[in-house]
Chains A and B, each alone.
Chain A
């Protein structure tokens, strides 16, 4: 079994790792790079818990091979706060209690940031459709949507 050498940029840092061809990006992030903030839910692209940004694009890291990350820029939940200073979305999730067990939270934060970068003023419906690929089995969607809308307001300075 040949191992693949991968060089990528993760949360602004240059990283290198070895992976099997069949290893997913999710597995490499968690097991090789020890970035365990990105969670595995279903492993089949249905739940969004493993959401990360690859070259600016929101993807499920369980549906991408680690070897495909060669040369790519990857952003995970670990890069969301600036040092000790939480991202406005993170602050609003705490303020609104928009999480229960927390497994879906990193993926939802990453997905929500991706939405707000494209659309700083989304409607409630747009938030719900954008987050349709992020499942919360604690069924906390109402507070999640409220937190995203509130964070959007704050980030717009409205």
Chain B
């Protein structure tokens, strides 16, 4: 197994494209090293993308944020401007492993690992984030909700890399939040995750919303029916109850040792409702 740490994206793409599918991208490595150790991954080449400046950059601007796919979770948590603009994404990132793991793990890796329970993904979907991809055929952009095609599977073609995430402008009177259910508060994997991003008009009526659920289907879901239950309301108890019901109705979970189907369906509505209440409170503070 060879190791390369190219300084430019072009070099990285050429290395990947030349490896006939026998290469893996190394970002934080918190998933990949475990796959290497267990023998589940046996690449001939590792392409470390952390020496590529544009993949590490965090740019928080009035027009939106661009987050390098290889920026670490701790770098994002410690970036005050990012945490203020997208507290719901930071909620999700904070749940990823320990401080040690967050010191290495990246949002690009969390997305590309394509776990249905990835904690940063529902918040990215609720935010309306776009994954920016570069490859041998050039660059393209894909909404995050379309990126994962199933457990461990993405729509990346050979030689393609996720370079960054593009987040829209954070509008006044808008806010987001992510909650998950786990038996333990730390060092656990989501049984259910729910992210809500909403915006109020100057009368306090919800004018836009996006709701996303994790760990309740083969991939994180965007749930327009749940968002529709909030839009046009003051996010009162009746609207929240309709939203929770729509969230539960969208779930297509599996039974496993961490939770039954019935439990996940029920809890998805509860988590979505509680996340919406936090997002509403944050929107109220963001004038």
Chain A residues in the interface with B (C-beta under 8 A)? 1-2, 4, 20-22, 24, 43-46, 48, 51, 54, 57-60, 62-65, 67-68, 70, 111, 114, 129-130, 132-134
The contact string, 1 if C-beta is below 8 Å from chain A, for chain B 1-21, is 111010000000000000000
**A60 touching B74 by the CB < 8 A rule?**
no
A129-B101 contact given A2-B2, A21-B1, A65-B29, CB 8 Å threshold: no
Closest Cβ–Cβ distance, residue B33 to chain A (whole Å): 5
Closest Cβ–Cβ distance, residue B49 to chain A (whole Å): 11
**B101 touching A45 by the CB < 8 A rule?**
yes
Q: A21-B46, A62-B33, A68-B26 known; 15 other A-B pairs, CB under 8 Å?
A: A2-B2, A22-B1, A22-B36, A45-B30, A54-B103, A58-B99, A63-B33, A63-B100, A67-B3, A68-B5, A68-B29, A114-B99, A133-B99, A133-B100, A134-B98
Asked if B187 is an interface residue, CB under 8 A from chain A, the answer is: yes
Asked if B234 is an interface residue, CB under 8 A from chain A, the answer is: no
Asked if B186 is an interface residue, CB under 8 A from chain A, the answer is: yes
Which residues on B sit within 8 Å (CB–CB) of A46?
A: 187
Asked if B48 is an interface residue, CB under 8 A from chain A, the answer is: yes
**A64 touching B98 by the CB < 8 A rule?**
no
**Interchain residue pairs with CB less than 8 A apart (17):** A21-B3, A21-B46, A46-B187, A48-B98, A48-B100, A58-B100, A58-B103, A60-B98, A63-B33, A63-B34, A63-B101, A63-B104, A64-B33, A65-B29, A114-B99, A132-B185, A133-B97
**B34 touching A4 by the CB < 8 A rule?**
no
Partner of B3, one of A44, A58, A65, A132: A65
**A44 touching B37 by the CB < 8 A rule?**
yes
A129-B186 contact given A21-B3, A64-B29, CB 8 Å threshold: yes
The contact string, 1 if C-beta is below 8 Å from chain A, for chain B 192-211, is 00000000000000000000
**A65 touching B97 by the CB < 8 A rule?**
no
Which residues on B sit within 8 Å (CB–CB) of A45?
A: 30, 33-34, 97-98, 100-101
Which residues on A sit within 8 Å (CB–CB) of B36?
A: 22
Report Cα–Cα, A68/B103, bound state, in Å.
14
**Nearest B residue to A110 by beta-carbon distance?**
B100
**B2 touching A132 by the CB < 8 A rule?**
no
Report Cα–Cα, A20/B100, bound state, in Å.
23
**B104 touching A59 by the CB < 8 A rule?**
yes
A132-B34 contact given A2-B2, A21-B3, A65-B29, CB 8 Å threshold: no
Partner of A60, one of B48, B100, B185, B186: B100
**A21 touching B100 by the CB < 8 A rule?**
no
**A24 touching B33 by the CB < 8 A rule?**
yes
**A44 touching B34 by the CB < 8 A rule?**
yes
The contact string, 1 if C-beta is below 8 Å from chain A, for chain B 32-63, is 01101100000000101010000000000000
**Nearest A residue to B98 by beta-carbon distance?**
A133
Which residues on A sit within 8 Å (CB–CB) of B74?
A: 57
Which residues on B sit within 8 Å (CB–CB) of A62?
A: 33
**A65 touching B99 by the CB < 8 A rule?**
no
Report Cα–Cα, A30/B173, bound state, in Å.
53
Report Cα–Cα, A29/B20, bound state, in Å.
33
Which residues on A sit within 8 Å (CB–CB) of B29?
A: 63-65, 68
**A111 touching B33 by the CB < 8 A rule?**
no
A133-B101 contact given A21-B46, A63-B30, A63-B33, CB 8 Å threshold: yes
Closest Cβ–Cβ distance, residue B79 to chain A (whole Å): 14
Which of A4, A59, A65 neighbours the largest number of chain B CB atoms within 10 Å of its CB?
A59
Report Cα–Cα, A81/B211, bound state, in Å.
51
Which of A54, A60, A67 neighbours the largest number of chain B CB atoms within 10 Å of its CB?
A60
